[in-house]
Amino acid sequence: MEAVLAKYENQIHVFSEFLEDLPDTDEPVWILGEYYNVKTEKSELLSDVRSRLWFTYRKKFSPIGGTGPSSDTGWGCMLRCGQMILAQALVCRHLGREWRWVAEGTQPAEYQRILHCFLDRKDSCYSIHQMAQMGVGEGKSFGEWYGPNTVAQVLRKLALFDDWNSLAVYVSMDNTVVIEDIKKQCRQTNQDPKLRAQEELSEGQRQVPHPLSRSTGRSRQPLHWRPLLLLIPLRMGINNINPVYIQALKECFKMPQSCGVLGGKPNLAYYFIGFIDDELIYLDPHTTQSAVDSETGSAVDDQSYHCQRNPRRMKITSLDPSVALGFFCRSEEDFDSWCNLIQQEILKKRNLRMFELVEKHPSHWPPFVPPTKPEVQTTGAEFIESTDKLFESEEEFEILNV
């Protein structure tokens, strides 16, 4: 039954597109920290949504692990959402929140390099292959559905092998964000002297005002700070989201550091990027496209990596209570600003807090040790057979995915 549903999934989504449009309302629309008036700024709003990197199910990629699935249809939706939230952090890091994608337009070299990180091949650092292999270490077998917390842990581990982006991925524990631990992790320097020197040179060249800085007046990034992707797994209710959390969730989308939210409905993952009134706006990974093949260093055909449909929406009250909030802080000043916003807008105004923000590492917790790259890489790449098995026919592909 699942295979039949997956087969007609694309047609269902295409049909539903004719039923959706943005409402004609005076209510503000918030997209990842940016405000829009839908009546006067609709084109700007749609351009913003289209510019987000959109990762969906893919088929006909080299089998995961050499003999595993060659499509993630039906099981990889939360992994694809994880790719989207991480890609948003990388776009903010290298291109800035103000960057916009133009179809057939010329894009910066950093944009193409970001795309290469997510191609459906075993040697791309955030590919479906690497994520699925790393998920094995989290107790997930190939083809098994993931939750927001598991995907957050997978991203945290994979980021250790990504020297180019040098991103610090912090995943909170027990609904608690520890400021001391985050600053310790973000102040780590690269262990490789050559890479550390390259980082310092690259960052030194950025010590001028740059579009990467948001409108808060930030223009400098200290050399010792590694850009932060902060992921906060939460459960905001039992079977449904508790209404007391709804306003706090909205406030998260208003913050300039907002990187979106992983969540959805039971066994149906979405990447939430904003809200309008009582509806969440999201990117939907449930469309199966053919894998895009691109040689290392060559330009990626990026048309299928940007959703050009109307933004999808769902009632906030329909949200599954299990989510992971995402925030990107490019500098220490940016992180300090986020802490202040959380204190003012989330913690002081709510009787029931979404999560806790504490200054010091709790004494009853084990000591915090900033994660470092293992001496023996375990991203899964070395466990994948060197010769990829390609299916001889579409029938063989369908048999595997029944």
Annotated catalytic residues are 77, 284, 286
Structure tokens at 90: 């990388």
What lies within 8 Å, CB to CB, of 54 at 6+ separation is: 84, 283, 285, 305, 306, 307
Give dist(CA 218, CA 111) in Å, integer: 22
Q: Could you give the angle at which helices 148-158 and 128-136 cross, rounded to 10 degrees? A: 110
Q: What is the DSSP string of 60-115?
A: SPPPGGGTS-SB-TTT-HHHHHHHHHHHHHHHHHHT-TT----TT----HHHHHHH
List, in sequence order, every residue forming a beta bridge with 272; answer none if it has no partner: 261, 282
Give dist(CA 330, CA 338) in Å, integer: 11
The amino acid present at 124, given as its one-letter code, is S
Check if the beta carbon of residue 5 is closer than 8 Å to that of residue 11: no
Using a 10 angstrom Cβ sphere, with 0-12 exposed, 13-18 middle and 19 or more buried, the burial of residue 257 is buried
Give dist(CA 110, CA 115) in Å, integer: 9
Which is nearest to 218 in space by CA: 330, 93, 92? Answer: 330
List, in sequence order, every residue forming a beta bridge with 141; answer none if it has no partner: none
Using a 10 angstrom Cβ sphere, with 0-12 exposed, 13-18 middle and 19 or more buried, the burial of residue 342 is buried
Give dist(CA 116, CA 127) in Å, integer: 9
Structure tokens at 180: 């001391």
Structure tokens at 96: 């800035």
